[in-house]
Structures are given as structure tokens and as C-alpha cells.
């Protein structure tokens, strides 16, 4: 099984990606430990975190059962830094053909961001492994995704941007292969107070809701 097939298999099993945006490496490590304790195995380190390469590398050492990738990659320079750091998958909020091609050359699952049918199809035809539909809640959430399924149902989509514990299951039911969550998993107050049990509970609740009817 190649990296792309492994990635798609993990998505279908997990159905959710925890998106970490951390003010410092130690906080990022605690955030990741907390969601991993709640059963999540796909973790994305955003490149606008503090010292993201260091955080990514540390998480791979500390959480060997998790797959750690990089997100919010805006440029080819960002992408190369993430590759050097050992990212196991890469997300961007936009679609860039050189970005997709470079990730492909490194045999990395690449998930560019897109919103309209034209953008989604352009990303897919350029070689995207999946397409990040972002920001999903701004355009109707599950209803929008459901309407895309008719013509674009063969494209694996990962909605982000406004995904919550409450609407995540509806997005899966509407056709998403998985969802990405940031703020809902890591409430600002819980992170500030280092209430990692609350984060673990949120992750557990999410996973239970996503898998309860499967």
C-alpha cells in the first residue's frame, strides 16, 4: 500500500483531523497528547504555529501511533520546510499547481483548499489526494457539500472552517471523507487553563459521534 492509499484508509477509519495552532512547542505537545488520548490519530500542525517544524518533529517522536502532518502552508518555501521536518501529509488553504506537483514528487498526500466546483475540480485534476473544502460553514455547511456530491462525488473532500462537534456528523453524512477541526477541539479557555482533560473529552465526544452509526 502506497502513502496515498494509506492516507485514504486512515481518513476512512478516523473521519477527523485535529488541527493544532500553538503559541509555543510545549503547548502544542500538550494539545496533541490530549486529542490522542481521546482517540484521534490524525494531527495537523499549522505552519503559523510557533516553531512548527520543531513541534512536528517532537510529536512524531512522542506519538508514534499518530500520523502527523502540516497545514496552513502558503508557499513552496513553507512546503519544503514541512517536507524537511518530516510531515506525513500537507494541507494548504488554496490551490497552487506547483505546490501540488512538488508534494507529489515527494510522494506526499497533498490536500489543497478550494471552495467552488471549478476550484475543487481544478485541484483534483492537478493531482490532489483530497480537496479541503474551505471555509465550509460560510457557504451552507452540509447542504453545500451535499449539492457537490452529484457532479463531484468521486472527489474525496475534507471540509474545514466552522466544523463543530455538533455538525461534524452531518458533514460526513453529506459525503465528506473526513472533517478538520481546530477551535472546537481546543477551546481557548481550556488551553489557557491547561485543562487538557476537557480537550480529551471533546476528542472522545467527536469520535463517538462520528462512529456511532457506522
**What pLDDT score does 3 carry?**
87
The tens digit of pLDDT for each residue in 155-186 reads: 999 999 999 999 999 999 999 999 999 999 99
Statement: residue 75 has pLDDT above 70: yes
Give the global pTM.
Answer: 0.97
Distance (Å, whole) CA 84 – CA 82: 5
Question: Does residue 134 lie within any of the structural domains?
Answer: yes
How many domains are contained in the chain? 1
Confidence of residue 201 (pLDDT cuts 50, 70, 90): very high
Cα angle for residues 172, 119, 158 (degrees, 5° grid): 20
CATH number of the domain to which 188 belongs: 3.20.20.70
Question: Does residue 157 lie within any of the structural domains?
Answer: yes
Question: What end-to-end distance do the CA atoms of the chain give, in Å?
Answer: 24
Question: Does residue 214 lie within any of the structural domains?
Answer: no
Contact 146, 120 (CB under 8 A): no
**Would you mind telling me the total number of residues written for the chain in this entry?**
214
In the chain, pLDDT over 70 holds for what percent of residues? 99
Residues 6+ apart with CB under 8 A from 160: 19, 113, 132, 133, 134, 135, 136, 179, 180, 181, 182
Confidence of residue 29 (pLDDT cuts 50, 70, 90): very high
**Residue 84 CB burial class (10 angstroms; 0-12, 13-18, ≥19):** exposed
**What pLDDT score does 213 carry?**
59
Average pLDDT, stretch 97-104? 98
Range of the domain at 193: 3-209
Amino acid at each position: 500500500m502506497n502513502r496515498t492509499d494509506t492516507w485514504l484508509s486512515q481518513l476512512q477509519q478516523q473521519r477527523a483531523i485535529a488541527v493544532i495552532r500553538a503559541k509555543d512547542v510545549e503547548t502544542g505537545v500538550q494539545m496533541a497528547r490530549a486529542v490522542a488520548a481521546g482517540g484521534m490519530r490524525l494531527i495537523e500542525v499549522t505552519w503559523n504555529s510557533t516553531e512548527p517544524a520543531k513541534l512536528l518533529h517532537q510529536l512524531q517522536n512522542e506519538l508514534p501511533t499518530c500520523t502527523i502532518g502540516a497545514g496552513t502552508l502558503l508557499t513552496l518555501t513553507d512546503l519544503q520546510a514541512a517536507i524537511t521536518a518530516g510531515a506525513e501529509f500537507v494541507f494548504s488553504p488554496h490551490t497552487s499547481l506547483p505546490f501540488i506537483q512538488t508534494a507529489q514528487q515527494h510522494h506526499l498526500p497533498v490536500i489543497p483548499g478550494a471552495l467552488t466546483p471549478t476550484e475543487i475540480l481544478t485541484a483534483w485534476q492537478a493531482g490532489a489526494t483530497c480537496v479541503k473544502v474551505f471555509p465550509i460553514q460560510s457557504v451552507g455547511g452540509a447542504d453545500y457539500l451535499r449539492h457537490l456530491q452529484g457532479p463531484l462525488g468521486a472527489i474525496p473532500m475534507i471540509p474545514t472552517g466552522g466544523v463543530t462537534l455538533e455538525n461534524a456528523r452531518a458533514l460526513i453524512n453529506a459525503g465528506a471523507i473526513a472533517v478538520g477541526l481546530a477551535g472546537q477541539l481546543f477551546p481557548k479557555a481550556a488551553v489557557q487553563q491547561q485543562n487538557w482533560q476537557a480537550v480529551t473529552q471533546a476528542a472522545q465526544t467527536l469520535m463517538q459521534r462520528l462512529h456511532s452509526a457506522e
